[in-house]
Amino acid sequence: MMKVDWNFLYDSYTGLGGYKDGSYLVRYPRETDDKYGRRKELAVYPNFVRKIVDTYTAHLFKDPPVRETTDNYARFIDNVDRSGTYIDDFMKKVAKLSLVFGTVFVIVDKPPGRARTKAQELEMGLFPYATVRLPSQVEEVEIDEYGRIKSITFKEEKRYRILNETTWKIATDRKGNSVIREGEHDLGRVPVVPVSWTDPVLPTEMLVPPFILDIARLNFDLYNAISELREILRNITFPILTLPIKDEQTASQLKDLTIGTENCIPYNPEGGGEPSFIAPPAEPAKVYLEYINFLIEQIYKSVNLEFALGSQTGKSGVALEFEFQQVNIILSGIAVNLEKAEYEIANLVELWLGGKGFTGSISYNRDFSFRDVERDLKIAMDSIALGISSTFEAEMKKKLARDILGDYLDEKVLERIDREVEGLEGLDNQLKSEGL
């Protein structure tokens, strides 16, 4: 199994754990307990991990998957987990967890019991449902040479769930000796679907590295850098008053003097000059600010979101298009894996109900292109100005209408625009007015 600090990944997404209590702050050499405690209390976690994961997930489900379902699967998708969760919401949760942990596991189970009719089955609640398990819960797993699961053991609260190709078992020990419940199934496969945001490098690998691993580490460094900058500002920002004195007796009298903004201090100009302030150099704070900005830039670059920084001056259209395309490739790959996973879930639902497998269809959106409408419009208008042909001009206008308004108009409105572009709308109206 892959060695990963799962708690760190969870904390990086939620902002809890060591980020909330300050224990993720790296202590300075010889830093006192008081200073370290103060830094922990004042620590702020700018959560870029969550922002990026939520952004990717939102784009994945901006256009919901299209399904042609069977009767069994139609019933399943309306209540995936027996708590009323719709399939899109369930798969959105699975997608988010796969980005955080790399791979998660969907168990498709069915409550034990037998019913003589479908009506009785409904009354008894004997219908397949899905639950999610995290990689941190996997105690043992056996896979074949193709990467398919032959048996798997999950650690749950005070018990273990053991599943293989023919049986299921819940026990108090990981070897399954102290059985709480057990039974057989005729699915011919383990009722568990591993879902990863990307494909494993090797077919014999089941877990993939978490999508957020690099940005979580960068965010950890950013969290510490901000705390260190704040400590610098607290310690050196306020100028120190220097007061000339003429003798040791005066110095002794002023040793407990408190200087603030609500009082004044008299001085003797004969003592050697007037009071003045000295301030430490600003360079250390500037260096930290530059490093903090560098870390934020690296966070976005590591997930191909450089264009989200807003500083695209000097970049060519080709360079921007390449950046957009990289994001599109990542999102498309995640969508493909989610679609495959849902097909497997649908197959298990049908198998649990005595069928031979899922016969419907599931299609996830795979095009997440970031169009530059202004650029496309300029290209289109320049092309129309060339006067290549009336057919070319008409088709280009249709394309522009879909590019600009396609997300907001239904097909009937777009069809009407097409007819107006082709000059048919006026002809139709003329024929109607003439009674033809």
Give me the pLDDT at residue 412, please. Answer: 73
Q: How many domains does the chain have?
A: 2
The pLDDT of residue 23 is above 70:
yes
Give me the pLDDT at residue 431, please. Answer: 43
Lowest mean pLDDT among 23-37, 265-279, 360-374: 265-279
Lowest mean pLDDT among 116-130, 284-298, 405-419: 405-419
Answer whether residue 109 is part of any domain. no
Mean pLDDT of 251-278: 66
- What b/e sequence results for 183-218 when a residue is b if at least 16 CB atoms lie within 10 Å of its CB, and e otherwise? eebebebbbbbbbbbbebeeeeebbbbbbbbebbeb
Give me the pLDDT at residue 40, please. Answer: 94
> 132-145 pLDDT, tens per residue?
999 999 999 999 88
Q: pTM for the whole thing?
A: 0.77
Answer whether residue 235 is part of any domain. no
DSSP states along 41-56: HH-----HHHHHHHHH
Give me the pLDDT at residue 151, please. Answer: 96
3-state SS string over 108-166?
A: EECCCCCCCCHHHHHHHCCCCEEEEECHHHEEEEEECCCCCEEEEEEEECCEEEEEECC
The pLDDT of residue 115 is above 70:
no
**Which domain covers residue 410, as residue numbers?**
371-436
The pLDDT of residue 184 is above 50:
yes
By the 8 A CB rule, do 103 and 132 touch? Answer: no
Answer whether residue 383 is part of any domain. yes
Answer whether residue 13 is part of any domain. no
> Which of 233, 257, 279 marks a domain boundary?
279
DSSP summary character for residue 297: H
Which residues have CB under 8 Å from 153's CB, separation 6+? 138, 139, 140, 141, 160, 161, 162, 163, 174, 176
Mean pLDDT of 386-408: 69
- Euclidean distance between CA atoms 8 and 24, whole angstroms: 9
The pLDDT of residue 425 is above 50:
no
The whole-chain average pLDDT of the chain stands at 83
Place of tokens 């074949």: 144
Answer whether residue 259 is part of any domain. yes
Lowest mean pLDDT among 62-71, 160-169, 206-215, 378-387: 378-387
Question: What percentage of the chain reaches a pLDDT higher than 90?
Answer: 52
The pLDDT of residue 427 is above 50:
no
> Which of 252, 279, 306 marks a domain boundary?
279
Give me the pLDDT at residue 428, please. Answer: 47
| pLDDT-derived band at 403, boundaries 50, 70, 90 | low
Cα 149–Cα 68–Cα 56 angle in degrees, nearest 5: 65
Place of tokens 């976690």: 45
The pLDDT of residue 394 is above 70:
yes
Q: Where is pLDDT greater, at 398 or 230? A: 230
Which residues have CB under 8 Å from 46's CB, separation 6+? 219, 222, 223, 226
Lowest mean pLDDT among 200-209, 239-248, 316-325, 341-350: 316-325
> 311-363 pLDDT, tens per residue?
555 555 555 666 678 888 899 999 999 999 999 999 999 999 888 899 999 99
Q: Where is pLDDT greater, at 202 or 320? A: 202
Give me the pLDDT at residue 319, please. Answer: 58
The pLDDT of residue 17 is above 90:
yes
Answer whether residue 351 is part of any domain. no
Answer whether residue 329 is part of any domain. no
Instruction: Supply φ then ψ for residue 278, to 5 degrees.
Output: -120, 140
| pLDDT-derived band at 373, boundaries 50, 70, 90 | low
Mean pLDDT of 284-296: 91
- Euclidean distance between CA atoms 303 and 9, whole angstroms: 16
Mean pLDDT of 378-399: 71
- Euclidean distance between CA atoms 421 and 396, whole angstroms: 10
> Which of 254, 279, 304 marks a domain boundary?
279
Answer whether residue 417 is part of any domain. yes
Lowest mean pLDDT among 27-31, 215-219, 358-362, 380-384: 380-384
Mean pLDDT of 376-392: 68
**How many CB atoms lie under 10 A from the CB of residue 420?**
13
Mean pLDDT of 20-36: 93
Give me the pLDDT at residue 405, please. Answer: 62
153 CB burial (10 A radius; 0-12, 13-18, 19+): buried
Give me the pLDDT at residue 253, please. Answer: 72
Instruction: Supply φ then ψ for residue 212, to 5 degrees.
Output: -90, 0
Give me the pLDDT at residue 375, please. Answer: 56
> 82-113 pLDDT, tens per residue?
999 999 999 999 999 999 999 999 999 998 77
> Residue 44: CA atoms inside 13 Å, Cβ hemisphere, count?
6
